[in-house]
Chain A
Amino acid sequence: MQPKVSSMSSPSFPTKMHIEPHSSGAANTPTSKEAKMRAANLNFFYGSFQALYDIDLEIQANRITALIGPSGCGKSTFLRTLNRINETIRGTRYTGEVLLDGVDVKSQDVTALRRRVGMVFQKSNPFPKTIFDNIAYGPKVNGMTSKQDLEVTVEKSLRRAALWEEVKDKLQKPASALSGGQQQRLCIARAMAVDPEVLLLDEPCSALDPIATLKIEELLFSIKDQTTIVIVTHNMQQAARVADNTGFFMLGKLVEFDRTEMIFRNPSKKETEDYVTGRFG
């Protein structure tokens, strides 16, 4: 589903701009960005419980897409369908399609898929290893053996995560010695070390203070030229700050998907407005 705005209720007023991914000229519209991932008619079940209903959503390449909504609305479930990590939960199934570059993720080797579609979780989860080994782990698993290559990759990844200056003199120290914000940036650096095409983030800043949150957000801006980013967040200000497009989920349905500016300035659906203005429930 392209970000778009439904018609205003009254014919007396002009409808808002219909957003096309290839449109140009209009201010603030996504321009010339292909769909990197796409969900089509996606229904997801935990056993007999249906968690997602007919989701159609397009993740534009090199954009930050935020997913917002109340707890239990299905946004994290949706995120986890993008790299099939839901399959680690027994009893789950889905119908419909999730496409990466137009190819159904179901038909892809799951390890290869997760290399292309990396993930960072709410709680930072560094390996009980050194800082260096945390970053080098992925490249090593993927066959990188040269010490020099690994050093270059570790430095590049830590620089991309804006962590290099803080840890360059203690690469052999345990990752657990880092602060919470640093550990989360380490996890992003670790995910970035294998050059994923898509990075999924599930509430990456929920345990961080505003300074650490700002660093993560700046990091997302700096890597989006190389990576397509999807972020689930409860922090609506964060979605407003970082995302190009935002989807609002409620009760397993995608209520509205549009440019972030429209979601927070003039949403089309009453449910979205009630949620973003805090009138929900």
Chain B
Amino acid sequence: MRHFAIELEELKTKLLQMGGMVEAALHRSVRAVVDRDADLAKKVKEGEAAINTMEMEIDELVTKLLVLQQPVARDLRFLTSVLKINTDLERMGDLANGLAKRAQSLMNYPPLKLNIDLNHMSSLVESMLLKSLDAFLREDAYLAQQVLLSDDEVDAIRGAAYGEIIAHMQSNPADVRAGVELIFVVRNLERIGDHATNMAEGVIYMAKGVDVRHNSKTLV
């Protein structure tokens, strides 16, 4: 195998490692919110620095390969996609960290009795991240396409949840603080879904050379 091909494989592995770290942070932060688990929230916050370091290492590696190898065609598409996916993963790490902070805040208030299925929303978002990473690993545009289709469902859940929380706060002013925290939880989850969507778009560009951003009509 050519030296450049080995370096590309190493980069791919590194990005997948980072994906694994973000996946773990997301899962823990969601559990911290749902299960009111302070230890898990603490672990997420402790793990953020490692994700940030990884982001910088990946950026550095991509820049090095761009400069030294002057890649073209699929190698170039791979590297530009890695740069973007790397940024999305780091942002997801930040949002997971934000979820952990909200989990800690929410523990100061009694649980709200709301008809919001956070478990369903979070498993959808976690599944989007997992599929995006799988699609990246296998350079599978069709799997990536499924992620794009999931985003609408996440957006719909967020919209319904906002309505539910706001209505609850209007009739229970004492719960406003907890309600606002919960709005941020829902928002962070939805934003993580958006970043998973960006990642999937990056995978489609990498695999097919087609830019589907802002143009979902190009998909079947």
B208/A277 in contact, CB under 8 A: no
CB distance from B41 to the nearest CB of A (A): 41
- Which B residues touch A10, using CB under 8 A? 141, 208
CB distance from B90 to the nearest CB of A (A): 26
| B-contact bits for A6-35, CB 8 A (1 contact / 0 none) | 001011111010000000000000000000
Selecting from B13-21, B29-37, B72-80, B151-159, the interface stretch reads B72-80
A273/B74 in contact, CB under 8 A: yes
B209/A16 in contact, CB under 8 A: yes
Selecting from A90-98, A126-134, A261-269, the interface stretch reads A261-269
CA distance A10 to B209 in the complex (A): 12
For chains A and B in complex, what number of residue pairs have CB atoms within 8 angstroms?
50
CB distance from B13 to the nearest CB of A (A): 20
A14/B72 in contact, CB under 8 A: no
- Which A residues touch B209, using CB under 8 A? 16, 265-266
B145/A236 in contact, CB under 8 A: no
Give A264's nearest chain B residue, CB to CB.
B72
Q: Does A171 contact B (CB under 8 A)?
A: no
CB distance from A263 to the nearest CB of B (A): 8
CA distance A237 to B209 in the complex (A): 20
CB distance from A27 to the nearest CB of B (A): 13
Residues 183-220 of B at the A interface (beta carbon under 8 Å): 204, 208-210, 212, 218-220
Given A13-B141, A13-B210, A16-B209, answer yes or no on A277-B74 (Cβ-Cβ < 8 Å).
yes
A264/B141 in contact, CB under 8 A: no
Interface of A is mostly: loop
Residues 65-97 of B at the A interface (beta carbon under 8 Å): 70-77
Q: Does B109 contact A (CB under 8 A)?
A: no
Given A265-B209, A278-B2, A278-B4, answer yes or no on A12-B73 (Cβ-Cβ < 8 Å).
no
Partner of A12, one of B70, B75, B76, B142: B142
- Which B residues touch A276, using CB under 8 A? 72-73
Q: Does A240 contact B (CB under 8 A)?
A: yes
Give A262's nearest chain B residue, CB to CB.
B209
B142/A264 in contact, CB under 8 A: no
- Which A residues touch B72, using CB under 8 A? 236, 240, 264-265, 276-277
- Which A residues touch B4, using CB under 8 A? 278
A13/B218 in contact, CB under 8 A: yes
Given A265-B209, A276-B72, answer yes or no on A12-B2 (Cβ-Cβ < 8 Å).
no
Give B76's nearest chain A residue, CB to CB.
A265
A12/B74 in contact, CB under 8 A: no
Give B2's nearest chain A residue, CB to CB.
A278
CA distance A240 to B73 in the complex (A): 11
CA distance A266 to B2 in the complex (A): 21
- Which B residues touch A240, using CB under 8 A? 72
Partner of B73, one of A8, A11, A237, A266: A266
A14/B210 in contact, CB under 8 A: yes
- Which A residues touch B2, using CB under 8 A? 278-279
- Which A residues touch B77, using CB under 8 A? 265-266
- Which B residues touch A265, using CB under 8 A? 72-73, 76-77, 209
CB distance from A68 to the nearest CB of B (A): 11
CA distance A10 to B204 in the complex (A): 12
CA distance A47 to B72 in the complex (A): 38
- Which B residues touch A12, using CB under 8 A? 141-142, 145, 219-220
CA distance A267 to B74 in the complex (A): 9
Give A274's nearest chain B residue, CB to CB.
B73
A267/B73 in contact, CB under 8 A: yes
CB distance from B219 to the nearest CB of A (A): 7
Given A10-B141, A12-B145, A13-B141, answer yes or no on A277-B75 (Cβ-Cβ < 8 Å).
yes
- Which A residues touch B70, using CB under 8 A? 237
- Which B residues touch A13, using CB under 8 A? 141, 204, 208, 210, 212, 218-219
Give A275's nearest chain B residue, CB to CB.
B73
Of A11, A13, A278, chain B has the most CB atoms within 10 Å of the CB of: A13
Give A266's nearest chain B residue, CB to CB.
B209
Pairs A–B under 8 Å by Cβ, sample size 25: A10-B141, A10-B208, A11-B220, A12-B141, A12-B220, A13-B141, A13-B204, A13-B208, A16-B209, A236-B72, A237-B70, A264-B72, A264-B73, A266-B73, A266-B77, A266-B209, A267-B73, A272-B73, A276-B73, A277-B72, A277-B73, A277-B74, A278-B2, A278-B4, A279-B2
Give residues in A with beta carbon < 8 Å to B. 8, 10-14, 16, 236-237, 240, 264-267, 272-273, 276-279
- Besides the known contacts A14-B218, A277-B75, 7 further A-B residue pairs in the complex with CB atoms under 8 A apart: A12-B141, A12-B145, A13-B204, A13-B219, A236-B72, A264-B76, A273-B73
